[in-house]
Amino acid sequence: MIRINTSSRVASINISGGGIPKRPIPAVLIREGGLEGDGHNHAKHYRPAQAVSLQDIEMLEELTREGFPLTAGMTGENIDLNNVNVNRLPIGARLIFEGGVEIEITRKRPPCYVLDVIDPRLKKTIVGRCGVYAKVIRPGALENGAGVTVELPVSHECLVEKV
């Protein structure tokens, strides 16, 4: 793994009994099955490889500027991050949070039909920008504001343009 130290932080932790929106909370215990207290309305969402859903707070801000007023948790994500760009992380990248929680990106998150309640146009607009799913590698407690370190798989090719 290639470790990238960033100024990234947890911007929001979000849970719900099922469905959207998820409500922000100050801290949570993350187990192998996901965030404690978080429910799933659809069995297809309840898999270890989809235990945690992540989005960038900057992406929600971008979508708000595009006419979709979104706040943390509104699109069903469990964790909003600042300064990570999760939509560009490769499968297999790991996020290590201050305090010890570690997760691994497993797949891109497709938009769900439940977004139609926010705006019927959102599902089409958010394709490719809906965040990612991750499995839990090391469970533990996570707090808002915790720092995040990104580790890229060694096989990952850098996204740097040739000069």
Contacts of 61 (CB under 8 A, 6+ apart): none
d(CA 104, CA 158): 18
Q: Residue 158: inside a domain, yes or no? A: no
pLDDT for the residue numbered 124: 93
Segment 117-127, tens digit of pLDDT: 899 999 999 99
Averaged pLDDT for residues 80-90: 96
**End-to-end distance of the chain based on CA atoms, in angstroms?**
25
pLDDT for the residue numbered 162: 41
Residue 19's pLDDT band (boundaries 50, 70, 90)?
confident
pLDDT for the residue numbered 28: 98
Domain hosting residue 65, numbered range: 2-152
Q: Do 94 and 151 contact (CB within 8 A), yes or no?
A: yes
- Of the CA atoms within 13 Å of residue 125, those in its CB half-sphere come to 17
Q: Do 10 and 146 contact (CB within 8 A), yes or no?
A: yes
Single out the residue of 142, 65, 61 nearest to residue 96, CA to CA: 142
pLDDT for the residue numbered 156: 54
d(CA 45, CA 53): 10
Give me the amino acid identity at 28.
Answer: V
Higher-confidence residue of 60 and 41: namely 60
Averaged pLDDT for residues 95-115: 95
pLDDT for the residue numbered 160: 46
pLDDT for the residue numbered 163: 38
Higher-confidence residue of 137 and 20: namely 137
Q: Residue 78: inside a domain, yes or no? A: yes
pLDDT for the residue numbered 4: 82
What is the pTM for the complete model shown?
0.89
CATH code for position 119:
2.40.33.20
Vertex 26, ends 119 and 18: CA angle to 5°?
45
Q: Residue 159: inside a domain, yes or no? A: no
Number of compact structural domains in the chain: 1
Residue 45's pLDDT band (boundaries 50, 70, 90)?
low
Higher-confidence residue of 160 and 11: namely 11
Q: Residue 36: inside a domain, yes or no? A: yes
Q: Residue 163: inside a domain, yes or no? A: no
Q: Do 35 and 97 contact (CB within 8 A), yes or no?
A: no
